[in-house]
Amino acid sequence: MPKSIIIKKTGGPEVLELQDVEVGSPGPDDIKITNYAIGLNYIDTYHRSGLYPIKLPSGIGLEAAGKIDEVGSNVTEFNKGENIAYASVPIGAYSQQRIIPAKIAVKIPDGISHELAASLMTKGLTTNYLLTKTYKLKAGETVLFHAAAGGVGQIFAQWANSIGAKVIGTVGSDEKIKIAEENGYSSVINYSKGDFSKEVMKITKNEGVSAVFDGVGKNTFQKSLACLKTRGMMISFGNASGPLDPVNVPKDIQPKGLYLTRPSIAQYFTNRRELQAGADSIFEKIKFGKIKIKIAKKYKLSDAKEAHQDLEARKLVGPAIFIP
C-alpha cells in the first residue's frame, strides 16, 4: 500500500506522520500518478504550523514530479505513462502515489528529470511571475533579493542576469555568501551582521533599487522599504522570519510613493495553459544553460521531520527534494 505524510494537528515537525493510504481510482477530470520526486518548500511549514490554516487531517506538500498511472474519463490532454509535474493545491504531494486534478499538471519535456522538475516547479514558477509578471524586470535595472542562497534566490539571479539586470542579494550567514555569488549576485550582504539598507544605498550610490523581492518577511520589511527609490516596488512574497506586521501607509508607503504587493503563484497561473507556458519557459532556460540547478539535499519521505527542521533552521543552501 502506498505511503503518505499526514498531519492530524498543527505544530512543529513532530506532527508529520508517515502512513499507509488507500488511493483508489481517478475521477473523470483527474489523473492518478506515482511521484518519483517531491519538492520541499517553505510554504509546507506554514501549512504544518497552522500559519496558513488547512482542514485536518490532511496531507502536506504542493510540488512533485512523476508518471501517470491512470487518467479519468474526461481527460484528453494526458496519457498513461507520461511524465508530469505539478505545484498547486490540493495539498498532499508528500506521497508515493496520489490522485490530482489534471488541470494542475504540466508535461515534462525530454531532457528534464523528475528530480529536476520537482525542484523547479514552485521555485521556477515563483521566479517567473516575480520578474516577468509582478515586476517586469528590464536590462540595466538594479534590484534587491533577500535569501539569495535559497532555492528561489539561486534561480532568480541567474534569470535576472540572462535579462541583463543586476541583483544585490542578502544572506543570513557568511557561509552562504559564496553560494549567492556563484549564482550571479553582483553584491552579497550578510543581513545578520548589520544594516543591509545602508549597504544597499552605499552600493547604489544613494540611489536605491527599483524593486525589492522579499521572501523573508517580518525581519526585513522596514529596511527593504528604506532601500527603494522613489516610486519603487516592494514585492513581499514570503514569511520565513514570521508574518508581516500591519503596514502604516502614511508612514511607510506615502513618503516615496511606493508600490506594495503581496503576490502568489495562484494569482498568475490560473489555468493549465498558463501553467504549461510558465513551466516551459523555465525548462527552456534549463536546457539552454541559462539557469543551472544544484539540488542541495535529498530526503526519504520517512525523513520529513528532519527535512522541515533543516529548512526552518536555514541549513539548506538551495533546493531540496524527497525521493519517495
Tens digit of pLDDT at every position of the chain (324 positions): 999 999 999 999 999 999 999 999 999 999 999 999 999 998 999 999 999 999 999 999 999 999 999 999 999 999 999 999 999 899 999 999 999 999 999 999 998 999 999 998 989 999 999 999 999 999 999 999 999 988 899 999 999 999 999 999 999 899 899 999 999 999 999 988 889 999 999 999 999 999 999 988 888 899 999 999 999 999 999 877 677 889 999 999 999 999 999 998 889 998 889 999 999 999 999 988 889 988 989 999 999 999 999 999 888 877 899 999
Nearest-5° Cα angle at 293, 209 to 38 = 110
- pTM higher than the cut 0.75: yes
Tell whether 117 is covered by a domain. yes
Residue 61, CA distances (Å) to 38, 44, 322 in order = 8, 6, 11
Q: Which domain, by its residues, includes 184?
A: 139-262
Q: Is residue 145 part of a domain?
A: yes
Number of domains in the chain: 2
Q: Which pLDDT value is given to residue 238?
A: 81
One domain, residues 159 and 217 = yes
The answer to whether residue 134 is domain-embedded is: no
Q: Residue 162 is part of a domain; what is its CATH number?
A: 3.40.50.720
The grid coordinates listed for 195 are: 544594516
The string over 34-62, giving b where at least 16 C-beta atoms fall within 10 Å of a residue's C-beta and e elsewhere, is bbbbbbbbbbbbbbbbeeeebeeebbbbb
pLDDT at 217: 80
In this structure, the answer to whether residues 246 and 213 fall within a common structural domain is: yes
Q: Does 153 lie in the same domain as 228?
A: yes
Do 188 and 181 contact (CB within 8 A), yes or no?
yes
Judgement on whether residues 94 and 204 belong to the same structural domain of the protein? no
What pLDDT is attached to residue 252? 92
